[in-house]
A and B are shown apart, each in its own frame.
Chain A
């Protein structure tokens, strides 16, 4: 029998992981909600940002927070580049072409990263303490990542709700021509959306590199998980994505302690498949 304290600790860790996963899912969901396109290579962008922070911090001695800011900016630039170079030329072509193009980008980035940086796992070592709460041990790095992720999500919410451009981002997906009649250039709104989505990938990268090591195939584990969370929450549904992120992270974290990490993933995937039959529109969708 496993000591309940370990399960409680795993549950807490699940919530902490959920915060970062929610951030990833929200970034992907934002792009999908506005452009109707899934960036298959989203987590590969995160991977690039992780490398950036790694090199800035370990190679150039930047403080981690500054590396994180650079990562956010770099992510935004990557997001705009993906939009202008890959998505924009394909906006009016079949969904399968967009899928193949961003999927191609995924393999390109993986191979390119392998070529440049080999398959070595690289870790940023921060001497952050482990804190003990009621007999449970929590990594301070995870706690910080969680708090920053939550703050970023609140920031995103306020941005989308209260600014003109944020409201335009929500509006343009509902009626592109009507938005043009308001004086907004849809192309510009898309670029801003892609920059915000990319910046979130950059922030997620900075939050992940203080917990995990980075390697060219980092996306292989987190990518499918992120897509599952988005689909489970209902594609384009922001609240759903957060709920799904917490559920999935809990299963993986608690399942990992009770059985094994692999079993945690297996259960998560099985739940995903079952849910797809029970609630194809996402967990928060009303039943037909």
Chain B
């Protein structure tokens, strides 16, 4: 479904990704782990078009997306829940979700999508009229994920969804991600909680200083020194 081949990307003179190749099949959940500064966020930003690749190709359902701007990539069915959530703090919860359905194709089914997101995250339904900035960290992350679902995507990119959350909240969040998965969404997730995320995904990649160092099925990887390696630099 999603395939990156030899993607090199960076910021100005700086190169953050060196020839990264990665593949996610439909219905799969895949994790990317690695130490701080490895380039995980950059990888997500390349897929969603916020950073354009210098070399290599990026295809989604057979179409090349490498040269498209971010606002056109969403329309292909790729929703990116960015690092740090990036909700609109001054807007209400409902308005944040509305912005998730900004795409013309998503507006038609807006009411239905809203219903589904509220069913998935009842806490958001209770806080519809509240300013998003006043929510707790966990609720903000739910909102960020809910907002992504509003675009009716085929794949969801989650960048460190557990960042800054209390341990209890992290467990609840992973539970919610599992439920999102069961809804049939394909997921590509970046996480620092390696042990826990490996229980949730099918496959995983280890990214280190801009290069894929290891990849494989989650159940096999857990037994290797993968977990330890992912924490290098922490």
Chain A interface residues toward B at CB < 8 A: 164, 167-168, 170-171, 174-175, 177-186
Contact = CB atoms under 8 A, between A and B. Distances in A.
The CB with the most chain B CB atoms within 10 A, among A177, A179, A182, A186, is that of A182
Contacts, number: 71
B50 interface: yes
B89 A174 contact: yes
B70 A181 contact: yes
A171 B80 contact: no
Given A168-B99, A181-B79, 9 more contacts: A167-B98, A175-B88, A177-B70, A178-B82, A178-B88, A181-B48, A182-B151, A183-B72, A184-B102
Given A183-B151, A184-B71, A178 B107 contact: no
Interface in B51-85: 69-72, 74-75, 79-80, 82
Nearest to A180: B70
A181 B103 CA distance: 10
Contacts of B91: 167, 170-171, 174
Nearest to B132: A174
B210 interface: no
Nearest to A178: B86
A178 B90 CA distance: 14
Contacts of A184: 71, 99, 102
B88 A164 contact: no
27 contacts: A167-B98, A167-B99, A168-B99, A170-B88, A170-B91, A170-B95, A171-B91, A171-B95, A174-B90, A175-B86, A177-B70, A177-B86, A178-B86, A178-B87, A178-B88, A179-B102, A181-B48, A181-B80, A181-B82, A181-B86, A182-B99, A182-B102, A182-B151, A183-B72, A183-B102, A183-B103, A184-B102
A180 B69 CA distance: 9
Q: Which 8 A-B pairs have the closest CB atoms?
A: A183-B74, A183-B103, A180-B70, A178-B86, A182-B102, A171-B88, A185-B71, A174-B88
Given A164-B107, A171-B95, A185 B89 contact: no
B100 interface: yes
Interface in B199-234: none
A170 to B, nearest CB: 6
Contacts of B151: 182-183
Given A170-B90, A175-B86, A180 B71 contact: yes
B50 to A, nearest CB: 6
Residue of A178, A185, A186 with highest tally of chain B CB at under 10 A: A178
Max chain B Cβ within 10 angstroms of own Cβ: one of A179, A180, A181 = A181
Contacts of A168: 99, 102
A185 B98 contact: no
Contacts of B70: 177, 180-181
A175 B5 CA distance: 30
A9 B6 CA distance: 76
Nearest to A184: B102
A77 B103 CA distance: 26
A183 B95 CA distance: 15
Given A164-B102, A170-B90, A177 B50 contact: yes
Nearest to B70: A180
